[in-house]
Amino acid sequence: MTKRVMVTGGAGFIGSHVAGLYVEQGYDVTVLDDLSSGNRANVPEAAQFVEADVGSPEAQRLLERGGFTVLNHHAAQMDVRVSVRDPMLDARINLIGLLNLLEGARAGGVERVLFASSGGVVYGESDALPHPEEASKLPVSPYGVSKLSSEYYLAQYSLLYGMTVRSLRYANVYGPRQNPHGEAGVVAIFGSRIRHRQPITVYGDGAQTRDYVYVADVARANLAATTDGETAVGSIDDVAYNVGTGIETSVNALAAAMLDATGISVPIEHAPARAGELQRSAVAIAKARGRLGWEPQVGLAEGLRRTYEWIEMGEG
Ligand SMILES: NC(=O)c1ccc[n+]([C@@H]2O[C@H](COP(=O)([O-])OP(=O)(O)OC[C@H]3O[C@@H](n4cnc5c(N)ncnc54)[C@H](O)[C@@H]3O)[C@@H](O)[C@H]2O)c1
């Protein structure tokens, strides 16, 4: 029987790649998105589209009555600064929205829930890098708290109702369709500047590091976590997978790699460091390797080349 999957946020960057891969693999896909930052054109043609807020009665009803076996939840308020300015808005979308969906999923007999979490915001800065799933947790923003809290709600629904749950803790995801207008997504921002032959800005000394993972690899991790075997929930880490590369790349190195990948030279400008920014971040992926049989296939140079190809087509 064809599996019915709902992808929330499937008109956005990562969710649309996830929805596309499900379609390719023969799933019956419904995308639910309020188009607040997503784009209708990103939704795969073969998917059904419902324009609705994750916190709406419509979203809950759909999960209750739609015969879905899988809920893949990518919709979110994901702007760290917005979460600091308006933590209630962040919680309304990221926590109340999640609970609205989970209540629908429970009533509708959804068997598995996958959730887009974030390695960059749930882990603290104290443990050695790259962080394994068991590393200590200390979010530094209300957005991080909502991601971590969501993982606890998922674990709770698993304990109470026997749903299988998966939290995918992403590193810094990049690739085609990433919006260059937010504050995150440095590859998209640099790419758009390069395309317009404008200088790119590096904050602080540029030595801060991130773990960059290509979006097609992230979609493959979602697919693998849709069918992997049962796991007992003793802690949120038991049902979490880091999805990254384990490799730290500094902003300076990223800027150089982008100029290299594009063959275009623009000036690099420096601006004061931004308050509250993590100095270093990378996630260990041994668990996903071992249990999902997953590992990233697209290296940084190739990923940047593919991303810039898309940006040059005028989309970014
Ligand atoms: N991009 C990254 O590097 C990264 C890293 C870690 C985690 N994540 C998580 O991955 C998920 C997807 O991120 P993205 O980078 O693709 O962002 P995105 O903004 O491209 O996608 C988010 C989508 O959710 C939709 N949405 C937002 N609020 C909604 C609401 N209330 N109801 C319905 N739809 C709503 C938006 O319209 C958009 O299409 C998010 O949960 C984000 O927190 C992303």
pLDDT tens column, 126-136: 789 999 999 99
Residue 292 lies in a domain: no
- Contact present, 140 and 121 (Cβ < 8 Å): yes
Residue 291 lies in a domain: no
Counting the structural domains of the chain, the total is 2
User: Tens of pLDDT along 2-55?
Assistant: 799 999 999 999 999 999 999 999 999 999 999 999 999 999 999 999 999 999
Q: Indicate if 181 and 166 belong to the same structural domain.
A: no
Supply the DSSP string of 172-189, one letter for each residue.
Answer: EEE-TT--TTSSS-HHHH
34 lines ligand 1 (CB under 6 A): yes
Residue nearest to atom 2 of ligand 1 (CA): 173
Q: Indicate if 128 and 183 belong to the same structural domain.
A: no
The predicted structure's pLDDT at residue 25: 98
12 lines ligand 1 (CB under 6 A): yes
Q: Indicate if 95 and 115 belong to the same structural domain.
A: yes
Residue 290 lies in a domain: no
The predicted structure's pLDDT at residue 315: 57
- The CATH code of the domain that includes 43 is 3.40.50.720
Closest CA to 95 of 154, 36, 178: 154
Going along 148-222, which residue ranges are E strands? 164-170, 172-174, 200-203, 209-210, 212-214
Domain boundaries, position 113: 4-172+214-243
- Contact present, 168 and 210 (Cβ < 8 Å): no
pTM across the whole model: 0.97
- The CATH code of the domain that includes 304 is 3.90.25.10
Q: Indicate if 233 and 253 belong to the same structural domain.
A: no
Residue 300's alpha-carbon distances to 157, 220, 314, in angstroms, are 37, 17, 22
Q: Can you tell me which residue has the tokens 């064809």? A: 2
Q: Indicate if 18 and 161 belong to the same structural domain.
A: yes
Q: Indicate if 63 and 149 belong to the same structural domain.
A: yes
Closest CA to 208 of 258, 151, 302, 274: 274
Three-class SS of residue 108? coil
Give me the chain's average pLDDT, please. 95
Q: Indicate if 89 and 179 belong to the same structural domain.
A: no
pLDDT means over runs of 10, the chain (316 residues): 92 98 98 97 98 98 98 96 96 98 98 97 89 95 97 98 98 95 86 96 95 98 96 94 98 97 95 88 97 98 97 77
- Rounded to 5°, the CA angle 226-230-233 comes to 110
Residue nearest to atom 12 of ligand 1 (CA): 74
40 lines ligand 1 (CB under 6 A): no
Q: Indicate if 117 and 134 belong to the same structural domain.
A: yes
Atom number of ligand 1 nearest to Cα 36: 37
Q: Indicate if 97 and 177 belong to the same structural domain.
A: no
53 lines ligand 1 (CB under 6 A): yes
Residue 280's alpha-carbon distances to 106, 172, 283, in angstroms, are 38, 12, 10
Q: Indicate if 201 and 251 belong to the same structural domain.
A: yes
Residues 6 or more apart whose Cβ sits within 8 Å of residue 43: 10, 11, 16, 19, 31, 33, 49
| d(CA 8, ligand 1 centre) in Å | 9
96 lines ligand 1 (CB under 6 A): no
Residue nearest to atom 34 of ligand 1 (CA): 33
Three-class SS of residue 70? strand
Which residues form the catalytic set? 143
Q: Indicate if 10 and 105 belong to the same structural domain.
A: yes
Three-class SS of residue 138? coil
| d(CA 108, ligand 1 centre) in Å | 24
Atom number of ligand 1 nearest to Cα 12: 39
74 lines ligand 1 (CB under 6 A): yes
The predicted structure's pLDDT at residue 124: 86
Residue 203: strand pairing partners:
271
Residue 289 lies in a domain: no
